[in-house]
Structure 1
Amino acid sequence: MLLYILYFANYTLQTYIFFFEFYALKKKKVCAYTMNFNFVLLVFLLCKILFIFAEKIINI
């Protein structure tokens, strides 16, 4: 169950980041979004690390 939640969170974040990048490029106001985007990227990386650890724990 936990693994499915992590999978969902992982793909949701990936799609969110993709659309965020697309929107920022389309508007060409990258500077305004840089701070927010860095925060999103940090959260995404933390989720990735959590996901890897959870996968290892469940596999063992």
Structure 2
Amino acid sequence: MQTMAIKIIEKREVGGWLGFTAYVGAFIYFMQGAFGLTGFLLALLKAAVWPGYVVYYALKMLGA
């Protein structure tokens, strides 16, 4: 008779929740000056892209 091993993997990550909260906060910030559908779509795009700019300029300041 063959026995099966059961592996239980438990993941507790805070990074996803923190990233989602930052995205929602950035979206609300960019949505304050937006009007209409185009403004809404641009606010979504800006909220998704701004962390890349932060990392780029931080590395640029460090001389990397």
TM bracket, shorter-chain basis: 0.3 to 0.5
Query: Higher Cα Rg: structure 1 or 2?
Result: 2
The two structures have a TM-score, normalised by structure 2, of 0.37
Q: Which has the higher contact order (CA 8 A, sep 6+)?
A: 1
Larger proportion of helix = 1
